[in-house]
Structure 1
Amino acid sequence: MKIIRITTENEISVHDFPEGSHHVQNKVLRELIGPRCELYEHVMPNRLYKNLGASNKVGKEKGSYVSMLVDEEGLYHNLEINMAGSYLYETDKHGCAIVGNILIVGEVWERNGIDFCGISDAQFALLYPKLEELTKKARDVK
């Protein structure tokens, strides 16, 4: 299953969700967010659901629900603003920007609670073209 990465340069890329233990998965996710990322934050940005139509109901189908991961300490590290992430997070309404690279990941309800996973094919087909268009518009503004 796939995850989507959007950089501060408004470049979008697709990656496989990492295999292995939670420790291994978290290490790879942090590396994708950025080389200084030691702790990521789980974010559920309104526009991802309201404007792009992503599902916000976590269920037992892997990746049927999506969310965003960001560098929790990005402001401390003086990372650049992520235009796409900030748009999704409605920064224009409250002033708190998303900085650093972001990941769009899937979620699944499992026996021990909610886990991150890749994005379902249906959610990926819905979101990727819209996120690609969003990053293109952000590049044109820069």
Structure 2
Amino acid sequence: MKKILVIEDELSVRENLVELLEAEGFQVFSTDNGILALLWAEDNLPDLIICDVMMPEIDGYEVLEGLRQIPMRASIPFIFLTAMADKADIRYGMELGADDYLTKPFTREELLRAITSRLSKYEIALQEYEAQHQWTETRQ
């Protein structure tokens, strides 16, 4: 079962996301702020992260930057969900390393396609890494 971390300060949005993702068979962990998310990610390894941009304390951009500094967390697929639809905001999020940027309101289908696509890409990268690692070990 794939694990998804949802970081969203708006309670109703967070609850809807959790319900939707659990109904799709994902194991979901959620928090309402970026600081708690970073603390959680130090000890846990989600398969994908969904994060709002505008949040109190630290914003989603800072969460992404923080995660990219934690070993074994830098390559986790990261999707922004936000009301910030300005082209410059989207570009900034992508330049920081976000894998996708969905603007609110979004449809269930849009979200699930983004998740499926990112998880598939991540799985292929992991398999390639493992294959390369095994190949290197057999040559030694």
User: Which category of TM-score, normalised to the shorter sequence, fits these structures?
Assistant: 0.3 to 0.5
* Structure having greater relative contact order (Cα 8 Å, sep ≥ 6): 1
Larger strand share, 1 or 2: 1
Larger helix share, 1 or 2: 2
